[in-house]
């Protein structure tokens, strides 16, 4: 299947496999190019790998993408191959253990929510930089990275729906309905993001910028896939969803203003302008009905929800620091991967 031309607002082709970044990702890539069921080398272990490093995060990303669109010329049956799942489980254990250590001590969902409901006077972060001094190349840099998330926006969160009941389920479906365009294909948020990319002259092919995405971006994307694919982490996925919806509106406002300032096209501005109002409403629904409803039926998930919030904030802060460090040094934050920069 050939990839869509640049500018296609709704690409449907399976992406090509990216390039390896170490032994773990090379092992997964080599497996995916062979017939399903091929044995993986026993010597390959994630035990000593950097849990946030390029190699482990890319290897996890490859495994997780088999549950989304897969890859061109890769047998879809690899999705449930026992050998690959065993390797993935080891990587997930390494990743999750590190997240639990770095996200902070256990606390209640109410405490975690309180920390993100009020922004500091000086917001900082990439959105503040882009609003005030970002140039067009900074925005292209940022959007190329974020395409790994936004071209699948809302998909991982849909996995939690069958794991919820009552008020929490109804509210989650209501928010997801908006994310998927309210029944209108042209308003699906992933498609709106592709149109933003088109306005900025970026390639809208799903997964195109994986090779140039830094490990911190892969970590942020893998986080929601990890939470979404495991029923035991349903509370953490709800926490992730809450963190995204609550922090989205003010950040989107800054990005919309910045894009207007640099003269970006209307589709680019529209994506973030759309999120200012929509996510302000979603924030109320998620806090009151999704989290509130879930805690009514499963109060034992209180600390898990907080963990999802805290892990998301930790990962996003780490990504923001990586981007800002590059921009303030006058250079792109994208890796010099085989596909080149944005």
For residues 121 and 94, state if they share a domain: no
Within-domain flag for 10:
no
Question: What CA–CA distance (Å, rounded) separates 183 from 170?
Answer: 16
167 and 149 in a single domain? The answer is yes
Q: How far apart are CA 167 and CA 293, in angstroms?
A: 5
Q: What is the mean pLDDT of residues 200-214?
A: 96
Rounded Cα gap, residues 26 and 144, in angstroms:
24
Residues 146 and 295 placed together within one structural domain of the fold:
yes
163-197 pLDDT per residue, tens: 999 999 999 999 999 999 999 999 999 999 999 99
Instruction: For residue 183, give both structure tokens.
Output: 């029944």
83 and 117 in a single domain? The answer is: no
Identify whether residues 51 and 163 lie together within a single domain.
no
Return the pLDDT at 90: 96
**Last residue within a domain, chosen from 71, 101, 131:** 101
Q: Can you state the angle between helices 82-102 and 302-328, rounded to 10 degrees?
A: 80
**Nearest Cα to Cα of residue 163 among 58, 241, 261, 249:** 241
Q: Is residue 337, in this structure, part of any structural domain at all?
A: no
For residue 10, pLDDT over 60 is answered with: no
Last residue of a domain, one of 101, 131, 151: 101
Domain assignment of residue 338, yes or no? no
pLDDT at position 183 = 92
pLDDT above 80 (res 5): no
> Do 168 and 269 lie in a common domain?
yes
Q: Based on the fold, state whether residues 96 and 116 are members of the same structural domain.
A: no
What token pair was written down for 176? 């997801």
Judge whether 128 lies within some domain: yes
Instruction: Scan for tokens 């986080």, then name that residue.
Output: 223
Rounded mean pLDDT, 70-75: 95
17 lies in a domain? no
Cβ–Cβ under 8 Å, residues 213 and 336 = no
Query: How many CA atoms lie within 13 Å of 207's alpha carbon, on the beta-carbon side?
Result: 20
Name every residue whose Cβ is closer than 8 Å to that of residue 336 and which is 6 or more positions away in sequence. 212
38 and 119 assigned to the same domain: no
Q: Is 10 helix (H, G, I), strand (E, B) or coil?
A: coil
pLDDT at position 122 is: 60
Domain housing 169: 108-328
* Same domain flag for 163 and 306: yes
CATH number at residue 246: 1.20.910.10
Distance CA 314, CA 308 (A): 10
Locate 321 and state its tokens.
């620091």
Please answer whether residues 164 and 233 qualify as being in contact, where contact means their C-beta atoms are separated by less than 8 angstroms.
no
Choose among 280, 283, 282: nearest CA to 253. 280
- 152 shares a domain with 48: no
Domain's final residue, options 101, 128, 163? 101
Closest CA to 44 of 65, 59, 34, 61: 59
In a domain, 195, yes or no: yes
Task: List, as one string, the DSSP characters of 55-85.
Answer: HHHHHHHHHHHTTTT--TT--GGGGG-HHHH
Q: What mean pLDDT is predicted for residues 98-127?
A: 89
Chain CA centroid to CA 255, Å: 18
State how far the Cα of 210 lies from the Cα of 19, in Å rounded to an integer.
9
- Does residue 268 lie in a domain region? yes
- Alpha helices, DSSP H, located in the chain: 23-32, 54-65, 82-102, 109-117, 125-132, 136-150, 155-158, 166-179, 189-199, 215-229, 234-261, 266-285, 292-297, 302-328
pLDDT digits (tens, 9 = 90+) for 253-298: 999 999 999 999 999 999 998 888 766 778 889 999 999 999 999 9
Question: Could you tell me if residue 340 is inside a domain?
Answer: no
Neighbour count for residue 271 (Cβ, 10 Å): 24
Same domain, 115 and 79: no
Domain count across the chain = 2
In the chain, how long is the greatest CA-to-CA distance? 55
SS3 category, 342: coil
Start-end of H helices in 103-214:
109-117, 125-132, 136-150, 155-158, 166-179, 189-199
Closest CA to 8 of 197, 148, 209: 197
- Residue 11, pLDDT above cutoff 60: no
Say yes or no: 214 and 189 in one domain. yes
pLDDT at residue 338, as a whole number: 55
């Amino acid at each position: 299947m050939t990839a869509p031309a640049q500018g296609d607002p709704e690409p449907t082709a399976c992406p090509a496999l990216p390039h390896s970044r170490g032994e773990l990702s090379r092992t997964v890539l080599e497996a995916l190019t062979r017939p399903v069921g091929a044995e993986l080398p026993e010597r390959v272990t994630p035990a000593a790998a950097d849990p946030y490093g390029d190699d482990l995060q890319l290897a996890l990303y490859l495994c997780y993408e088999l549950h989304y669109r897969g890859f061109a010329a890769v047998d879809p049956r690899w999705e449930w191959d026992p050998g690959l799942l065993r390797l993935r489980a080891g990587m997930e254990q390494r990743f999750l253990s590190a997240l639990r250590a770095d996200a902070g001590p256990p606390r209640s969902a109410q405490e975690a929510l309180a920390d993100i409901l009020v922004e500091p006077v000086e917001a900082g972060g990439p959105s503040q930089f882009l609003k005030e001094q970002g140039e067009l190349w900074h925005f292209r840099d940022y959007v190329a990275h974020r395409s790994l998330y936004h071209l699948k926006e809302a998909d991982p969160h849909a996995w939690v729906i069958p794991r919820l009941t009552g008020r929490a389920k109804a509210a989650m479906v209501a928010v997801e309905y908006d994310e998927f365009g309210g029944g209108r294909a042209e308003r699906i948020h992933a498609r709106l993001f592709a149109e933003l990319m088109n306005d900025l002259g970026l390639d809208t092919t799903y997964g195109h910028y994986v090779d140039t995405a830094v490990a911190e971006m892969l970590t942020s994307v893998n986080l929601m896939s990890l939470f979404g694919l495991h029923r035991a982490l349903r509370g953490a996925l709800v926490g992730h969803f809450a963190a995204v919806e609550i922090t989205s509106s003010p950040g989107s406002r800054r990005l919309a203003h910045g894009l207007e300032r640099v003269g970006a096209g209307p589709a680019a501005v529209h994506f973030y302008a759309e999120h200012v109002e929509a996510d302000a409403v979603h924030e109320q629904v998620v806090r009151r009905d999704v989290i509130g409803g879930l805690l009514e039926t499963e109060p034992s998930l209180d600390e898990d929800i907080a963990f999802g919030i805290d892990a998301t904030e930790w990962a996003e802060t780490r990504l923001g620091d990586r981007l800002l460090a590059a921009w303030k040094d006058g250079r792109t934050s994208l890796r010099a991967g085989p596909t080149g920069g944005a």
